[in-house]
Structure 1
Amino acid sequence: MCRALDRERLYTWFIERETDLFMAQAFVFHIDPEKEKHVKNKLAEYSNLHYVSGEFKPLDPWTKGLDVTNLYYKDHSFDVIICSHILDNISEDRKAMSELYRVMKVGGWGIMQVPLAINIGTSLEDEQRITPEDRARVYGHPDHVRVYAKEDYIKRLESVGFRVELYNIAKRYSFEEAHRLGLSKEDNLYIVHKDA
């Protein structure tokens, strides 16, 4: 995928090689801020997928505007949920995680990516940081309300019921394969499962 972000290449690699999504009949919910829409366009190509995408501020008429802390979908609506770099923008992230868990079908799975700082033990968040400039300085982006620590992020996902699996191409295949995709040996996908 030319001009795709590294995370988009990682999502596509995982879906193509580790799942049967492109051959399955599945309801897919994709919450995605990516401007180029590589993953969205790929998923929308498949007629076997019932594909729904949503964003905070949709840029096209096919994308639904939504509040991830209060989703309007019924319980157990989706087989697969891809939530890309959204939870770090939501003050009530655990409420959003609970909603994503609620709308996922039992046996479903998802990709839940956020920016992470691998060198901190506790997530950085402070409700006093209210200006975009202050948030950009501390969290790396004016819309972010936190920077997650890896273990803390996993615990938050697990606290709402998800089972979390880390997927790393460099460890599963080789560093050379990861490098070919423009990824580092540290790039992980956070795969969640709803077992019960």
Structure 2
Amino acid sequence: MYNSLKRIAKFIIPKSVLKKNESLFRRIISIKYSGNNHLCNICGKKLNQFVIIYDKDLLCPNCGCRSRTRRLYDTLKNGKVLNGNVLHFSPNKILYSKFKNLDIEYFSTDFEHEFTADYCYDITAIPIDDNFFDVIICYHVLEHIEDDMKAISELYRVLKPSGSCYIQTPFKDGEIYEDSSITNPADREKAFGQKDHVRIYSVKGLESRLNKVGFSTEINNYKSNAYFGYKEETLIIAKK
């Protein structure tokens, strides 16, 4: 139902109106999904089910967060790591709202103007002094960046000593797969899974690139959890 209503809404309601009233529309739609089988740990909505979207991920109909967003929020909240200066690339709207209200210096950025953010930083040339951020959140960003080593070097440069960078991308087994000759969006989608991706990392491959600039790395492999709508996933915490 959710996906059908979304398609209909996009067809008959102007994009500007949808964006302005997104929270209201979500609250109305989520009434149908109310129940006690599941819980979104971000917005607190109890659900009879999560919404299965196009890539088989589990979406909260009330706040629009994906499974990886809920897991990230849980990891950061339970770890009590959000303090000082925090840099967040391409933040989910609900996390942006949550983190803006914390007692931290929150720097949200999105280079393509697709997400709600206060800044527009180029990750390969971050306009911030060395050793500035206590925490960096870089979720599903590096697979979009052609010069990822420059981006990784910048993340290392602006992170404080003893700071932590939370990194996730799509992962595959084996080696990193990238081919700079593939530039057509349709070909990129076929090769890398999405039209604006330029590679598919392996966990070991990305870890190696992070280590190369000086990061120490911690690999976290999480299991699924039906109640909270978590899926199996891997998170890399890179430390300086």
Q: Does residue 129 of the first structure (1) align with residue 190 of the second (2)?
A: no
Q: 1:150 & 1:101 partners in 2: Cα distance?
A: 18
CA distance in 1, matches of 2:73, 2:149: 26
* Correspondence for 2:56: none
Aligned counterpart for 1:5 among listed residues 46, 59, 66: 66
* Cα shift readout 1:130-186 (whole Å, capped 9, x = no counterpart): 10000011111111000111110111111111111122343xxxx5xx3322223x3
CA distance in 1: counterparts of 2:161 and 2:91, whole angstroms: 26
Identity of aligned residues (%): 34
Rg: which structure is higher? Answer: 2
TM-score normalised by L of structure 2: 0.70
Task: Identify if the C-alpha distance between structure 1 residues 65 and 181 changes in structure 2 by more than 3 Å, giving closer, same or farther.
Answer: same
Q: In structure 1, what is the Cα distance between the partners aligned to 2:162 and 2:197?
A: 31
**Change in 2 beyond 3 A, CA 1:20/1:82:** closer
Asked whether 1:161 is paired with 2:205, we answer no
Q: Does 1:90 align with 2:148?
A: no
Q: Name the amino acid aligned to 2:208.
A: K
Whole-angstrom distance in 2 between the partners of 1:33 and 1:12: 11
Over aligned residues, Cα RMSD in angstroms?
1.7
Q: 1:62 to 1:122 in 2, by over 3 A?
A: closer
How far apart, in 2, do the equivalents of 1:5 and 1:60 lie? 14
Unaligned runs of 5+ in 2: 1-41, 43-59
Report the AA paired with residue 202 of structure 2: A
Q: Which has the higher contact order (CA 8 A, sep 6+)?
A: 1
Q: Could you tell me which residue of structure 2 aligns to residue 179 of structure 1?
A: 226
Counterpart residue number, 1:49: 104
Count of residue correspondences? 179
Is the partner of 1:58 in helix, strand or coil? coil
Q: Distance in 2 between matches of 1:59 and 1:88?
A: 16
TM-score normalised by structure 1 residue count = 0.85
Rounded Cα–Cα distance in structure 1 between residues aligned with 2:144 and 2:116: 23
Gaps of 5+ in 1: none
The 3 A distance-change label for structure 1 pair 108 and 156 is same
